[in-house]
Amino acid sequence: MTILTVASTPFPGQRPGTSGLRKKVTVFRQVGYLENFVQSVFDTLGDCSGKTLVLGGDGRFHNRAAVHTILRMAAAHGFAKTLVGQGGILSTPAVSCVIRKHGALGGIVLSASHNPGGPDGDFGIKYNIGNGGPAPEQVTEAIYRHTESITRYRISDGADVNLNRLGADRIEQMQVEVIDPVSDYAGLMQDLFDFDAIRALFAGGFRMCFDGMGAVSGPYATTILEGMLGAPAGSVINGVPLEDFGGHHPDPNPVNAAELIALMAGADAPDFGAASDGDGDRNMIVGRRFDVTPSDSLAILAANAGVAPGYRAGLKGIARSMPTSRAADRVAAALGVPCYETPTGWKFFGTLLDAGKATLCGEESYGTGSDHIREKDGLWAVLFWLNLLAATGKPVRQLVEEHWARFGRNYYSRHDYEAIDSAAANALMAALRERLAGLAGQTLGAYTVDFADDFAYTDPVDGAVSTQQGVRVVMRDGSRVVFRLSGTGTDGATLRVYLERYEADPAQHHLPTQQALAGLVAVAEQLAGIAARTGRASPSVIT
């Protein structure tokens, strides 16, 4: 075996977005493209001798090829050991768990998460640091700078290891340990939740459906739900990770998880439904004929955290991304703990979790998690809900409605305009930013603007500043419209419009969401001129 130094030249645009570098598979398959990025990660890390790396991905097309390349590069860079998931499979939360449990220097996650897969789909790569979480912006920017001036990468010419066989192998001086992708993660879940109570729930005839959407969470859900907790066989559907996700778009929302939603709406609906995304870090929670919004899910778990053994000591604080509804803020206030508001993307929760300032975190985009790892965690949220259902004996809908009755309801929706022209999207945002200063005090429809700004965040732990994180227009009654551009897409630009309205009166808690928010939708159009600028009369996805 020889370590080769291969000459290379930079590829433009290797800047990680909200969650890693995501491009079309065709872009990633260019000679040297993946290698340049990985070399830039390693150059940013410096000396890795004696260190352990964790490696795995969501099983999408190109996953295996990329794993083999990265293993040979890690060996050339002097890592003592790489822990790789069997078959090259590790969910994002499992990578975070394994990094922490084994004291690794960091990990590489191969995934474009909720983006479609397959030869014409997307691929992605993300570096996670030693706390198990996504690298913060200072690190991703340093990696990006390396990609701009790269001249060579280093790689072993050693043979591919057998990824299917558990146990130790070797490339150069580096030990390659193929690990069971599920076991460390399953052990952690068992420590956090009341498995006996959930087992008793299933034993009593409770039925659920978990839709793995042909992506990575299937093996985790099958082992834990059907294996350890006794859910009937068949409770997990689409449970085998496939290179093209079996044609599914593994973005768990009511539009994409159509099979699950139809089942939950049917006459013989199970008690509980859930779905996860490509890399297993998102969750959608569904009751019988009832969808739970992610923002409400965060608030409800926070309000009831004591049911789970792992959270019985209480919450230190709650953190949510800025566009996430403020339902969680009301729970934090009732609990007497702080609520932090961060920019979009899980990387912004890391410092708060490390510093012990927050216990639960969430995003409106079907992301929920806690200080047990440093990523959002789909199956964790499902188990938390199961624990809650087991502890209370109440159906999903009743739990949500009782929460609204106690705290009020934050009507919430996100309208996405996908794959619009990038120049038009940037012009729309620029025009909004120009109007911000004059908006306070103006009347828009039934609303009067309290304040309007471009969200900026100063990390309360390390002082890092992030600007231009979304335009928010906040009304005097607390209602909000937020505009931002997606940082995960690969086709043109995606405009996200986030709408929120608070309703205290329980008599008004049962309106259809879009009807309840119609006034704010009109305000958003009035403010941004979406139809004229994008040529779209309506959003492509509403969640």
* Residues designated as active site: 113
Distance CA 304, CA 314 (A): 10
**Three-state secondary-structure class, residue 314:** coil
Q: Does 277 bind Co ion (CB under 5 A)?
A: yes
Q: Does 370 bind ligand VG1 (CB under 6 A)?
A: no
Amino acid at 261: I
H/E/C letters for each residue in 386-426?
HHHHHHHCCCHHHHHHHHHHHHCEEEEEEEEEEEECHHHHH
Buried b or exposed e, range 418-427, using 16+ CB within 10 angstroms: bebeeebbee
Q: Does 281 bind Co ion (CB under 5 A)?
A: yes
Binding mask 97-136 for ligand VG1 (x = CB under 6 A): ----------------xx----------------------
Q: Which is nearer to ligand VG1, 372 or 414 (CB)?
A: 414
Q: Tell me which of 279, 291, 329, 364 binds Co ion, using CB under 5 A.
A: 279
Q: Does 113 bind Co ion (CB under 5 A)?
A: yes
The region of 96-104, 186-194, 447-455, 484-492 touching ligand VG1 under the rule CB under 6 A is 484-492
- Number of continuous H segments (helices) and E segments (strands) in the chain: 18, 27
Q: How many residues does the chain have?
A: 543
Minimum distance between the CB of residue 238 and ligand VG1, rounded to whole angstroms?
17
**What string of DSSP letters covers 74-111?**
HHHTTBSEEEEEEEEE--HHHHHHHHHHTT-SEEEEE-
Minimum distance between the CB of residue 298 and ligand VG1, rounded to whole angstroms?
12
Q: 490-493 — which CB contacts under 8 Å span 24+ positions?
A: 490/22, 490/23, 490/24, 490/112, 490/115, 490/122, 491/418, 491/419, 492/419, 492/420, 492/421, 492/422, 492/425, 493/419, 493/420, 493/421, 493/422, 493/424, 493/425, 493/426
Q: Does 377 bind Co ion (CB under 5 A)?
A: no
Q: Tell me which of 169, 211, 226, 277 binds ligand VG1, using CB under 6 A.
A: 277
Minimum distance between the CB of residue 319 and ligand VG1, rounded to whole angstroms?
13
Q: Which is nearer to Co ion, 169 or 279 (CB)?
A: 279
User: Where would I find the H helices in 109-194?
Assistant: 137-148, 183-192
Q: Does 251 bind Co ion (CB under 5 A)?
A: no
The region of 249-257, 278-286, 381-389, 533-541 touching Co ion under the rule CB under 5 A is 278-286
Q: Tell me which of 19, 217, 238, 276 binds ligand VG1, using CB under 6 A.
A: 19
Minimum distance between the CB of residue 346 and ligand VG1, rounded to whole angstroms?
5
Q: Does 365 bind ligand VG1 (CB under 6 A)?
A: yes
Binding residues (CB under 5 A) for Co ion: these are 113, 277, 279, 281-282
Binding residues (CB under 6 A) for ligand VG1: these are 18-19, 113-114, 277, 281-282, 321, 344-346, 363, 365, 367, 486-488, 496
